[in-house]
Amino acid sequence: MNFTLPRPDVTFGINDVVDIVATALLVYYLLVLVRGTRAIPIMLGIAVLVGLFSLANLFHLLVLATILQFALLGTAVTLPIVFQPELRRFLEQLGRGGMLARPEAVDDAQQLEDAIATLARAAIILSRNRVGALVAIEGATGLREFVESGTRLDARLSVELLLSIFTPKSPLHDGAAIVKGNLVEAAGCFLPLSENVLTESHLGTRHRAAIGLSEQTDAVLLVISEQSGAISVARTGKLSRELDDEARLRSVLLACCRASRGRRPQGKPGLARFRRRLGPGDRPAGEFAKPRA
């Protein structure tokens, strides 16, 4: 006796096509929205937790699965708080109809070298005149939320522009300038302060802000002390030694910025490109040390 299973009545119509296309567009614009922000590392961390939880269930690791389950539940509760800037930006762009804006292009190596040369030259001039300054050079992680806290400029980077921004008694003097490629995106921006207590007398609020932002992002911070005129560079929560030579400062900044953008390792081009676009790179070799508490 032969038994035949009934074939399910499968239909695929225009409604399914519209549903798939609409969902794909929504996911695409969400990825464009969070690209270049701190949401990307957080999303990757959540993906790792989900993967570990799946493996724990697959191999019946009850204790580990229980711990990861509570961790995922706690993460789900805090997601609206963590992604508050991105959610706000998404709703604002949706209301303004700005979802169709094209993403910004990635700056090439020549633009980076020209920008570093301009920053180094301006830093030497500000240092000789004992003018305090704080410049954040954006890496792979975007600084859009900090740009919104200051005055938007979107002006071409130049020595004259930096000298004008950090002129004493200027309205934008006390804040930080954020540089992306060969543009000064904003000035007078507020940066998070580091929780580490700096014991050195010549390190003040600018240095704490530089270390604080470098602890949270892969940005490279250029700091000029108003008291001594000393030039320092902060990255990954560490502060460099004083740099008073323009050529040396330019080489240190260039090495730090290249490390923040990441280099392509041999053998895994796809994964390397993904990590270079979404995550911080390796630390550069240099004279960096954590601030003493």
Please report, for the domain that includes residue 174, its CATH number: 3.40.1700.10
Q: Are 81 and 201 part of one and the same domain?
A: no
- Does 76 share its domain with 196? no
Q: Name the residue with tokens 């929205």.
A: 33
Parallel/antiparallel/unpaired status of strands 133-137 and 176-180: parallel
Residues 124, 221 within the same domain? yes
Q: How far is CA 134 from CA 58, 162, 207, 212, 254, in A?
A: 51, 10, 8, 12, 17
Q: Has residue 122 got a pLDDT over 60? A: yes
Instruction: Give the domain-ending residue among 55, 82, 100.
Output: 100
Q: What is the pLDDT of residue 21?
A: 92
pLDDT of residue 36: 60
Residue 278 forms part of a structural domain: yes
Residues 86 and 206 in one domain: no
Q: Are residues 95 and 126 in the same domain?
A: no
pLDDT attached to residue 42: 81
In a domain, 62, yes or no: yes
Q: Looking at the structure, do residues 156 and 236 belong to the same domain, yes or no?
A: yes
The answer to whether residues 89 and 122 belong to one domain is no
Q: What is the pLDDT of residue 279?
A: 44
2 domain residue, yes or no: no
Say whether pLDDT at 276 is over 80: no
* Percent of the chain residues past pLDDT 90, beyond the cut: 38
Q: What percent of the chain has pLDDT over 70?
A: 73
Same domain? For 276 and 135 the reply is yes
Residues 248 and 269 both lie in one domain = yes
Confidence (pLDDT) at 209:
92
**Within this chain, do residues 32 and 63 fall inside the same structural domain, yes or no?**
yes
Give DSSP secondary structure letters for 176-218: EEEEETTEEEEEEE--PPPSSPP--TT--HHHHHHHHHHHHSS
pLDDT of residue 158: 95
Q: Report the chain's mean pLDDT, rounded to a whole number.
A: 79
Q: Are residues 64 and 115 in the same domain?
A: no
Higher pLDDT, 282 or 86: 86
Q: Tell me: do 96 and 114 sit in the same domain.
A: no
Q: Are 167 and 173 in contact (CB under 8 A)?
A: yes
Number of domains in the chain: 2
Residue 32 belongs to what domain range?
A: 14-100
Whether 175 shows a pLDDT value over 50: the answer reads yes
Query: Is there a domain that residue 9 lies in?
Result: no
pLDDT band, residue 103 (cuts 50/70/90): very low
Per-residue pLDDT at 292: 42
Whether residue 128 is contained in a domain is answered as yes
Mean pLDDT across 135-141: 88
Q: Which pLDDT band holds residue 111 (cuts at 50, 70, 90)? A: confident
Model confidence pLDDT, tens digit, residues 38-95: 677 788 888 999 999 999 999 999 999 999 999 998 888 888 877 776 676 667 566 6
Residue 1 counted as domain residue: no
Q: Is residue 5 part of a domain?
A: no
Q: Which two tokens stand for residue 183?
A: 């543009």
For the entire predicted model, the pTM comes to 0.59
Higher pLDDT, 28 or 190: 190
Q: Is 183 a domain residue?
A: yes
